[in-house]
Amino acid sequence: MRLSAYFLPVLKEVPADAQIASHRLMLRAGMINQCASGLYSWLPLGQRVLSKIEKIVSEEQDKIGCHRVIMPTLQPASLWQESGRYEDYGKEMLRVKDRHDRDLLFGPTNEEVITDVVRQYIKSYRDLPQVLYQITWKFRDEMRPRFGVMRGREFLMKDAYSFDATYEGARATYQRIFESYLRTFDRLGLVAIPVKADSGAIGGDLSHEFQIMAETGESTVYYDASYDNLTPKERTFEHLQTLYAAADEKHDPDNCPVPEDRLKSARGIEVGHIFYFGKKYSEALNVKVSGTDGQHVVPEMGSYGIGVSRLVAAIIEANHDDAGIIWPDAVAPFKVALILAKTGDATCDAIVNDVYEKLQRQGIEVLFDDRDERPGAKFATMDLIGIPHHLIIGNKAIQESQLEYKNRRTGAREMINLSAIDTWIEGMRG
């Protein structure tokens, strides 16, 4: 992508009303634009990051055998009346009427709709287990939308719903998804601590929230210090059940099983929340499948959310410095920043265009700052928007055939000989 032709409205001023780093940086980096309270447009740079996260979340769901669907954003009130949640849900639910005066709502979550789908098609225990998921925009009329996309009113959520024939099966599904969440957050460069949680309006008796540690988090998480040095082998459901972790009022200092010198506390951002709730919805919506012995069984259910748009902000909270965002490679909007630091020079132009073409041919996402700007302004922009690998072409390219590489995260710099650029590009593919 040539920056001269891109839509990247970076802001020089620090937006006055943005209280946390991720909100400020997303506005300054031209990732989002506020349309109204809790409603945002995702501009090209933000959209790229959001899509990368969405793809990783979706790949990890697919890997464990979940199937992706898309449900409507507007739902009939009648389904929620069947489950009994229509009255309970309160003002967070946006209720609307269609032209026939029928009650609709903008979906804040989708247990009812998916249960309605399953009851129409799944007739036998042989067709279970089944996990269906979607990644779609939800609307919740939050009392206090704040911190940008961290707590928006419209937000992108991955929501999965599981159906099992037996209690044991449902627990096994819960564990499988629990562990896949750890892998998902790991791929996003985040360490998530699963804490036991209340299942709230959803109902049920087993629930975990996945919390990312960051100073600006809305929760306080208390956890066993051994979370800080888990080996990959220990990152299982079974093992983590033996370690203490609780958030906010769920933590009771008087009855905490962890000795004080091993108890840590930090602020956390809730990026995921999973629930097992048994037959709450399947019973209410009268779902029945035939069982092994000719009797009917009512499926056991769970639901599993990940805040995809909130993750963009959470990743920034965990990865930034005074100069701006520092994207982990896996979600970076572009992997390489190609910076022409000397404009109006034919040799430099030839080199930079050649490197740009090579990067593109190798399928590496590159943002090429080809503008007629001061080098300092170009460096600052790439630092602000957080591109992880910077390749700078300036005077040394003409005199010594050398390009400069800068690692955004470590700040480490090294010179690359022009003759070695193909190898360097090859290395970037990994």
* Footprint of ligand ATP (CB under 6 A): 109, 140, 142, 151-152, 155, 157, 270-273, 305, 307, 309-310
Partner that binds at residue 158, options ligand ATP, Mg ion, none, CB closer than 5 to 8 Å by kind: none
* Minimum separation from the CB atom of position 174 to Mg ion (A): 16
Location of structure tokens 């069982």: 291
Name the residue nearer to Mg ion (CB basis): 307 or 333. 307
Query: Whose CA is closest to 300, among 57, 67, 118, 76?
Result: 118
Task: Using the minimum distance from each CB to ligand ATP, give the nearer residue, 192 or 240.
Answer: 192
Tokens coding 292: 């092994």
Rounded Cα distance, 105 and 86, in Å: 9
For residues 186 and 349, which CB has a smaller minimum distance to ligand ATP in the complex?
186
Count of H-run helices and E-run strands, the chain: 13, 23
d(CA 421, CA 430) in angstroms, rounded, equals 15
- Residue 75 beta carbon to ligand ATP: minimum distance, rounded to whole angstroms: 16
Residue of 268, 277, 196 lying closest to 237 (CA atoms): 196
Measured between alpha carbons, how far is 163 from 172 in angstroms, rounded to an integer? Answer: 11
- Give Cα separations from 410 to 10, 317, 389 (angstroms): 23, 17, 10
Q: Which residue of the chain is nearest ligand ATP when measured via CB?
A: 307
Which residue, 29 or 306, is less far from ligand ATP as judged by CB?
306
Residue closest to 316 by CA, chosen among 130, 7, 12, 45:
45
85 interacts with, out of ligand ATP, Mg ion, none, CB within 5 to 8 A per kind: none
CB of 283 to ligand ATP, least distance (A): 21
3 state SS for 161-213: EEEECCHHHHHHHHHHHHHHHHHHHHHCCCCEEEEECCCHHHCCCEEEEEEEE
**How near is the Cβ of 250 to Mg ion at its closest, in Å?**
12
The one of Mg ion, ligand ATP, none whose footprint includes residue 140, by CB under 5 to 8 A per kind, is: ligand ATP
Q: Which is nearer to ligand ATP, 127 or 142 (CB)?
A: 142
Among 153, 273, 280, 335, binds Mg ion (CB under 5 A): 273
Residue span binding Mg ion (CB under 5 A) among the ranges 53-61, 118-126, 170-178, 271-279: 271-279
52 binds Mg ion (CB under 5 A): no
Closest distance to ligand ATP from the beta carbon of 308 (Å): 8
Residue 151's binding partner, choosing from Mg ion, ligand ATP, none, with beta-carbon cut-off 5 to 8 A by kind?
Answer: ligand ATP
Q: Which one of ligand ATP, Mg ion, none is in contact with 324 (Cβ closer than 5 to 8 A by kind)?
A: none
Choose one: 86-94, 149-157, 273-281, 326-334; the region binding Mg ion (CB under 5 A).
273-281
Q: Is the Cβ of residue 131 or residue 387 nearer to ligand ATP in the bound state?
A: 131
Quote the distance between the C-alpha of residue 198 and its chain's center. 22
* Residue 157 touches which of ligand ATP, Mg ion, none (Cβ within 5-8 Å per kind): ligand ATP
* 89 Cβ contact partners less than 8 Å away, ≥ 6 residues apart: 80, 108, 201
Q: How far apart are CA 195 and CA 264, in angstroms?
A: 13
Positions touching Mg ion (CB under 5 A) are 273
